[in-house]
Homo-oligomer: A and B are copies of this chain.
Amino acid sequence: MATMTDVARRAGVSVSTVSYVLTGTRPISEATRERVLAAMAELDYQPNAMARGLASRRSNIVGLLLPLTGRGLGATETAFVTGATEAARQAGYHLMLCSVGTDDSDELQTLATQRLLDGFLVMEVQLTDRRVDLLRKLQVPFVLIGRTEDADGLACVDIDFEQTVDDAVAHLVGLGHRTLAYVNHSEASLASGYGPARRTAAAFEAAVRRHGVEGLMVPSDDTATSGRQAIRRAREQSPELTGVLVMNENAALGILTELRETGLDVPGDVSVVSMVTSEVVADLASPALTAMTSPGAALGAAATRALLKRVGEHDTSTYQELLPCVLEIRGTSAEARKH
């Protein structure tokens, strides 16, 4: 393995000159630059990442804080990770997966103090999140995927839930539906103050009022079975219901099954719009789900860019970027039946 000293000797310059060629920190004449580059090529030189990191106090690695609960990642999260990895790579950075629980402060502190990582991308952000306080105290650059209660002084990238819900409701109302149900996340997450659940709940209420239609919200777990129960409950409470907005994918599929088995046609009798849904899952259903496709990869890329900017420029300003899900009309939404 060739080192910088080898390159310097071969090119007949000092090591510092080689370093300047590599980093561009100081001007180097065209002639010697070429000699150095040639020497590197001949020796198959690759800078040693550890040595570089030690000397420059930069690892060029960012950590992705992702509590791996064991139940796996959904398509949205996966897309996010993919997008982030790709964006990091393009900027010459690497992404390290850090499976640290949301409340495992010790583990996170170790990780952040080791000087192995230049910054953090924080996923699965709670409304009040201990990791945020810790990272802030430690003065480590970080960007949240999601938002805390008070986002002041923080950098966040998140789905624009308000816009997304509003677009979905507008779509259904535009098709003539006058009585809507929103199948949200579970009661538990609503109670614990889970951001997306809270925000969409509020947004749904606002949208419904603004459009002057009836709206009913019911909670559901993220399983097909729970989705079936939810839609049954919704139809009991409000039998004239023709438009359904549903937060999570598995519940959405359960709802389709339940409606079909009740003898109702989708989208003939009832229209269903799924939120924050990936294309893959949408196509699993038959007919394919009309859905608000989550901008997973775009979010990941945006978050990474924001983080790298903070790392590079010691930027520490408040920053917020919200991306809406985009409506993909497929087979489960149609004009409301006239009566």
Contact = CB atoms under 8 A, between A and B. Distances in A.
Contacts of A4: none
Interface stretch (A17-25, A75-83, A205-213, A264-272): A75-83
Nearest to A82: B68
A29 interface: no
Contacts of A283: 223-225, 250
B280 A257 contact: no
A286 interface: yes
Contacts of A81: 97
Contacts of A114: 46-49
A72 B78 contact: yes
A54 B50 contact: yes
A289 to B, nearest CB: 11
Interface stretch (A88-96, A158-166, A193-201): A88-96
Nearest to A45: B113
Contacts of A156: none
A301 to B, nearest CB: 12
A51 interface: yes
A270 B115 CA distance: 59
A72 B75 contact: yes
Q: How large is the interface on A (under 10, 10 to 19, 20 to 34, 35 or more residues)?
A: 35 or more
A250 B286 CA distance: 12
Nearest to A278: B72
A225 B285 CA distance: 10
Contacts of A75: 72
A98 interface: yes
B94 A95 contact: no
A255 to B, nearest CB: 11
A286 B224 contact: yes
A115 B73 contact: no
Nearest to A81: B97
Identify the interface centre among A47, A81, A284: most chain B CB within 10 Å of its CB.
Answer: A284
Contact of A72 (B250, B253, B280): B280
22 contacts: A1-B113, A46-B113, A49-B114, A49-B115, A49-B116, A50-B54, A50-B115, A51-B54, A53-B53, A54-B54, A64-B97, A68-B82, A81-B97, A82-B99, A85-B99, A89-B99, A94-B96, A94-B97, A94-B116, A96-B96, A224-B286, A250-B283
Given A96-B96, A224-B284, 6 more contacts: A46-B113, A46-B115, A49-B116, A70-B297, A73-B78, A284-B284
